[in-house]
Chains A and B, each alone.
Chain A
Amino acid sequence: MKDQLNIPTHLKFRASYLFFILYNILIGVGIVEYPRRVYNYAQQDSWLVLILVALIAHSIVAITIFILKTYKSTDLYGILQETFGNWFAKLICYLFIIYFFTVYLSALAKYTEFIVVFIFPQLSKFIIGFLITILIAYSIYGGIRVIVGVSFLFFLLTIWVFGLLAVPASMIDTNNYFPLFNLDRNGLLQGLRVSAYSFIGIEVLWFIYPYVRNKDKAMFYSQLGVLAAVVILFISVIISIGFYAPKQLESLIWPVLGMYKIISFSIFERLDIFAVSYWIFIILPNLILYAWLITRSLKRIHQIKQKHSIWAIIILSAIGLYFIQSSIKLEALLDVADISSIFFVFLFPILLFPFAIIKRIRGTKK
């Protein structure tokens, strides 16, 4: 127990906020195209695949929290330092930082692409990215209290957007759901791989856990947060499959945004325009959490002030946005993020698991 983090009490938050943090980091840009991606491989069995992956994700959360609990009140860096020593801990954390930045940049670029495609075809992605980065820096400057507040308030502000999907849900053709259980092994594996990408973000627990005040409830609320995200993903998959004709779903790039197109009110038509702009509220907590993760882990490793490292992120993301203006390059970046997520989200906790068990056993023997 040499490296315990002493977070001042006024910076800690109730465990119930973990629900909003996990929900927000899981639901971001990915959900917009998820139904198509999983449908490409798993067809009508997509939702079964999702449930399978969700079960795995829940157990990953359980393992992560088990490990964190074993080491009392410290974050990933502290844990690695204690088990593997300084050098290795730094290496892994660097990998994590690079990974976080890749995810952050790809999400930012993806959202700017929505706007360019749907609303402003002539506008440079750079400007929208710049606007969003201002918001990110501004909230990072507010500290952990504001970051948790952002994920809480924006959850409340955006949850109804998914409620609007009730309109396309009322137009479902049930024939689209059949045939069921038609999945071969390759389809299942590919479907699992694609679905795994939707669970990028569970790693936030590694760094945010020390800030939780009542840690005994951390498990419950983080599982609940993941469950909420799974429910939203599940709804979007089910409605997409039912709403679109099979061939159509395969060819649509962003099926979820497409569904908003048919919703209209007496003073408001074409809700997809609104939804794309409103998506900024969904994407913002997501990006803020990633930016926080980067600055926080840099602070843990090198004691770099978060005030300074956030500027590095802003400059780097500006450079990054400049280089990935084209969709092809963005897809390449997303692929990198996706593939690395399998290691960082799913494999890493499992690899660390035995060490935690050993530590527990040793602890009880003493």
Chain B
Amino acid sequence: MKRKSTKKKQQSLFPSTLEEVEKDLNEKALNSSPDFTMKVVETESNQRVGFYFLYSIIKPQVVYEQIISPIQKAKKTLDIKAIDNMIVLPNSKQESNIDEIAKKLLQGAVCIYIENDQSCLMHSVPLQEHRSIDRAETESLIFGPQMAFTGSIETNLNMVRNMIDTPHLKIERFILGNKIPNEIQMIYMNDIANEENVNELRKRLTSLQSEDIMNASVLSQKIEDNPYSFFPQYIVTELPDRFTYSIKEGKIGILVDNSSAGIVAPITFSSFFESTDDIYGRWVIGSFTRLMRMFAMIMSITLTPLYVAALTFHYEVIPEALLLSLGESRNRVPFPPLMETLILETMMEFIREAGARLPTKVGQTMGIVGGIVIGQAVVQAGFTSNILIILVALSALASFTTPDYVMGTSLRILRFPIILLAGTFGFVGIFFMVAFIIIHLLRLRSLHRPYTAPIYPFRFSDFDQSQVRIPFALNKRRATSLLPKKTKRKKSNADQHPLFNTKGKDIDE
């Protein structure tokens, strides 16, 4: 019954005059948009053809040259098929439901209607203004390709396709968002990515009930395993090379339209401390920087709490020589160490946040003012000790070595509860919080894969690609933590290396 009634409605719209269609479209379906445009053309065979579109989101030149003018010049009597034949553009569709037509118009389509016909023809010519391919703003590389994703999913896909030009690259398309639909593409290597991961991610995307997916960062938070955690469980990256590298290693990438970032899943805790620069540089540099970043991470969250704990409760652990200079620098400070540290750490966060919000040119001045002037003045005024300034600066610096901004910030914020606990329970408080973080990390998963891999579950063979970076000649297999289909890289590549053809030969032979 229901079906019949809708059919009747459709029949009531078509066939009708061009003006009626305009009225129906604009007033009923589109809520009277000011940019709704109708263009009526009379052909030589005295047929009236109407073109409907929203002029703000179509490419006007294409519409006039490719669609309107050939029809205008037509000499025969036209029907829909003939018109479709005349227009060289791809992606045409016949449509007779007025709501569907309105939806397409909003996505940048042109509706072509011959008066008194049964249905109309839709041609998609969307105009998408985006910034051009530019340098990445939030993630920086030394060696890598100096470009970042843009807001257009087509451009982003184009970059990914260019970097991985193999038929094994599989792309799945979803339209998500109940109220404001948005296009989302899931990209993975068909022959490498683990099927369970792909199915899991597909299930999460399709079952996602959301009004609006704003961009990649928002989407990544909506499909996380533990939305309450303070650690991100997917990497959201601006860098196409990092994105494609992860896909080539068997991970899954997600691109979101109108978002200049891609999501990489599943990931581990240690992948936040990896940068593609480690791969481009020599293996010694790569391994060293990766280990250094891990060390910096640990230092950045424990250095100031240790200061607070030692000065508040355990001054006996400080050696005599150090205690003297500490006492000298602290003798004018009127606050307890906890408050002293909190003041300085909060100031550090102010400087960081101000630097991030201000325009670049002002931001640089801000850094200088904050770093030198305030720092110097604070010590001279006797608010904090010199040594604490060093420690706070050191731990702030250490936290900025994390290549992922979200992770870096999470870790920096994590420092505050540790400082508070250090000020109330001393070392016990610090170790309590560290134990809590470790247990939390153990509990976390990314796409049901353990977050702490390859440390737990322990896979020693994966350490060469996460904690350190071994030379390519030795790098014969992919990390197994993600359970890729093929762990071995192409055999011939490794064997052809001259280093390994020396079996049985002596030096200088």
Q: Which residues of A approach B to under 8 Å, CB–CB?
A: 13-14, 16, 115, 119-120, 128, 131-132, 134-135, 138-139, 141-142, 145-146, 149-150, 152-154, 156-157, 264, 266-271, 273-274, 277-278, 280-281, 284
Contact = CB atoms under 8 A, between A and B. Distances in A.
Contact of A281 (B319, B425, B431, B456): B431
B37 to A, nearest CB: 58
Nearest to B445: A145
Contact of B443 (A142, A154, A264, A268): A142
Interface residues of B, number: 27
Interface string B54-89: 000000000000000000000000000000000000
Given A115-B428, A152-B458, A277-B428, A146 B316 contact: no
A145 B441 CA distance: 12
A146 B432 contact: no
B317 A269 contact: yes
B80 to A, nearest CB: 56
Contacts of A146: 439, 442-443
Given A135-B439, A146-B442, A152-B456, A119 B317 contact: no
B143 interface: no
A7 B425 CA distance: 41
21 contacts: A119-B427, A120-B313, A135-B435, A139-B442, A142-B442, A146-B439, A146-B442, A150-B442, A153-B442, A153-B455, A153-B456, A154-B438, A264-B319, A266-B319, A267-B318, A269-B319, A277-B427, A277-B428, A277-B431, A278-B427, A284-B435
Interface string B431-461: 1100110111011000000101001111000
Contacts of B439: 135, 138-139, 142, 146, 150
B145 to A, nearest CB: 37
A60 to B, nearest CB: 27
Contact of A280 (B319, B428, B456, B457): B428
A278 B306 CA distance: 13
Given A119-B426, A266-B319, A281 B435 contact: yes
Nearest to A280: B431
B456 A120 contact: no
A298 B438 CA distance: 27
B365 to A, nearest CB: 36
B428 A267 contact: no
A82 B432 CA distance: 43
A224 to B, nearest CB: 15
A141 B444 CA distance: 12
A271 B314 CA distance: 11
A115 B428 CA distance: 8
A267 B319 contact: yes
Nearest to A132: B432
B432 A270 contact: no
A268 B317 contact: yes
B372 interface: no
Q: Which 4 A-B pairs have the closest CB atoms?
A: A277-B427, A142-B443, A149-B442, A149-B456
A269 B315 CA distance: 9
Nearest to B318: A269
Contacts of A152: 456, 458
B426 to A, nearest CB: 6
Contacts of A150: 438-439, 442
B322 interface: yes
A273 B316 contact: yes
A149 B441 CA distance: 10
Nearest to A146: B442
Interface in B366-409: none
B86 to A, nearest CB: 59
Nearest to A115: B428
B435 A270 contact: no
A153 B439 CA distance: 9
